[in-house]
Every structure is written in structure tokens, then in C-alpha cells.
Structure 1
Amino acid sequence: MSVTANTFTRAELVDAFTAFEATVDRAARTRDWDPWVDQYTDDVLYIEHAAGTMRGREEVRPWIWRTMESFPGSYMTSFPSLWHVVDDATGRIICELDNPMRDPGDGSVISATNISILTYAGDGKWSRQEDVYNPLRFIAAAVKWCKKAEACGTLTDEAAEWLATYGRQR
């Protein structure tokens, strides 16, 4: 893939990323994932290292809904960026996103992070996103959450089923 010169100002990139974060935060609070997906161009290229490559907003939409409405995604409360870098030359934002899970019952915060690379297309839309992370860290965080919830008596049937399938061998 060749990198072409960016035609967007730094201010536009920063404003677009601020809007992206606000929309993602609102989606996490309301559990309505459509506005998040609507920030992508119709032909977005979304590379998710565990789930694969999706082409087009309407391929991304069901994946985000499925992921965020089933355990462990359904227990993630927000997706704040811990830091971000604006790459003016390529029109990209590189950021580390946190994925904290709801309180398992003892007040602890359990999360895992990922690096996301977003490519801006203009008009508030993103043409590409790549999420880079170690899936085993997410599994470990979910297992830890399940075990704490189990000890606190707050483990739900959905989380218990997930733990029985993916986490007992750890």
C-alpha cells in the first residue's frame, strides 16, 4: 500500500478524532452501535487481527453489533484513548484504546488495550481502521473478570458459559 500526501489540516484531523471518540463513548453508554459504524466511509477497510478483514461499512456493522452485544464485549463500558498521535502527513490517528469491563463486584477495574490506526477520509468519515492487539490478553482479562465475578457471586449465565468454553483451561 502506498502512502499518499494528506490534504487535511492537523486541526481537522484533531476535530475528527475528537468527534470519533465522543461518538464511540456515546455508543458505549447507549449500546447503540450504528452511530459508531456510520463514521466510516461506505467502502471502509477494517482490519481486525482476530476477526479478519472487513470491506465496507455494511460488513463492519453486524460484526460490531455481534461483538459488542455478546460477552466479553457486552461487559466493556467504554473505549477511551489513553494516548494518540496525529500523523499529519498521512491523515492518520494512531491511538491506544482501553477496553475496561464493568465492575465484577469488588470495585476492581479489569481491561485490555489495543492500538488502532485510523485513516481519515474527510467530512467526518474514516476510510480505514486497523486494530492491533494480542487476543490472548483480552481472553486473560475476560477470564480474570469471570473469576472475580464468580468469587463475588455476580457471574452471569452468559459470562459463565463463555468461561466454561474459553477460560477454564487457564
Structure 2
Amino acid sequence: MTSSTFSRDELAAAFATFEATVDRAAQTRDWDPWVDQYTPDVTYVEHAAGTMRGREEVRPWIWRTMESFPGSYMTSFPSLWTVIDEATGRIICELDNPMRDPGDGSVISATNISILTYAGDGLWRRQEDVYNPLRFVKATLKWCRKAAELGTLPAEADTWMKQYGGGE
């Protein structure tokens, strides 16, 4: 464990800025400001995609993930709860990943745990996302089936559903 020199207030403020930037990225579909919150040498551990090192390795992954189905149908990434660990300079949180309304007002989502390590000056030096990918597949299949039932299933979602075993 490393000792942090960041106060609780600084960590909370930096995370509030992080959340606001991620929310703005989700609304505008411009993912660069999200990536720009990381240090140039960030380590990003994504359990399904692997470990990325540096902003310029994270950037194309975030763009590819968020601009293709199902990421392109996720509308926001709000934290459901947050722990501020001053001793390590970390924020631990559960993030929700709700998808667009399939057409009947349904809210379908999956969550992940994220651990962010602060570097100072509004930048994060590490992020680790912990989740069960099968929960995301299950939620996405549920969304696809609901959209198909309602006649709102887009072609890219139909293709995804067929690829992942949901297109009987």
C-alpha cells in the first residue's frame, strides 16, 4: 500500500469532475475528454479486454467500445456508490451502464466495480474495471429481445444478438 498525499476533499472533487466529464462524453459521444483525464502513462486494467498502458492505447479502445453495439447504446455511467480511500488515493465505486429505452420505458443495465487511483492535478494514473462479462451479455440480450418484441431492434443489435446466441 502506498501513502497518498491527497485529502479526502481533493479526491472527492477530482472524482466529481471525472463523473461530470464521463457524463458529458456519454451525451456528446466525444470520448477524448474522458481519456484526457488519465495521465499519459496510465495503466487501465479491463478484465475482458486486458491491460492497456498509456492514453494512446486506451483512447482507441474507448472509442471502439463506446461507438459499437452495445456500448453505443449505453446512455450514461453514473456511480451507484463510492468509497474514498485516502490512504491509497483511490476511489472505488459501482458504475451503472444503462442502455437506451428499447421503446417501452424499460431500463436495462449491468454494473461494474471501478477502482481509480489518483495522480493529482485532476488526472488518474490507474483504472481497473471489475465485472462479470456474462452479466453484460445477459443484459444486452435482454435489451435486444425486448427491442425485437417492440419492433425497435436496430440491424447492428440484431447482428450482435445472433453472434452471441440470442437470435433463435
Answer yes or no: is the 8 Å Cα contact 1:110–1:145 preserved in 2: yes
Query: Runs in 1 of length 4+ with deviation above 4 angstroms?
Result: none
Give the match for residue 55 of structure 1: 53
Question: Deviation at 1:169?
Answer: 7.1
1:4, 1:68 → 2: CA distance? 33
Match of residue 73, structure 1, among 71, 74, 82: 71
* CA shift digits 1:33-86 (9 cap, x unpaired): 000000000000000000000000100000000000000000000000000000
* CA shift digits 1:114-137 (9 cap, x unpaired): 000000000000000000000000
2:165, 2:71 → 1: CA distance? 15
Paired residue secondary structure (1:167): coil
Answer yes or no: is the 8 Å Cα contact 2:74–2:98 preserved in 1: yes
2:8, 2:165 → 1: CA distance? 44
1:108, 1:169 → 2: CA distance? 20
Q: What does 1:111-122 correspond to in 2, within 5 Å?
A: 111-122=109-120
* CA shift digits 1:90-147 (9 cap, x unpaired): 0000000000000001110000000000000000000000000000000000000000
Number of residue pairs the alignment of both structures matches? 168
2:2, 2:158 → 1: CA distance? 48
Q: Aligned-residue CA RMSD in angstroms?
A: 1.0
Question: Deviation at 1:168?
Answer: 2.0
1:102, 1:56 → 2: CA distance? 31
Give the match for residue 153 of structure 2: 155
Answer yes or no: is the 8 Å Cα contact 1:102–1:109 preserved in 2: yes
Give the match for residue 27 of structure 2: 29
Give the AA of the match of 1:79.
F
TM-score normalised to the size of structure 2? 0.98
- Percent identity between matched residues is 79
Answer yes or no: is the 8 Å Cα contact 1:139–1:167 preserved in 2: no
Paired residue secondary structure (1:129): strand
Paired residue secondary structure (2:77): coil
2:132, 2:2 → 1: CA distance? 29
Unpaired runs of 5+ in structure 1? none
Paired residue secondary structure (2:139): helix
Match of residue 39, structure 1, among 19, 27, 37: 37
TM-score normalised to the size of structure 1? 0.97
Question: Deviation at 1:164?
Answer: 0.6
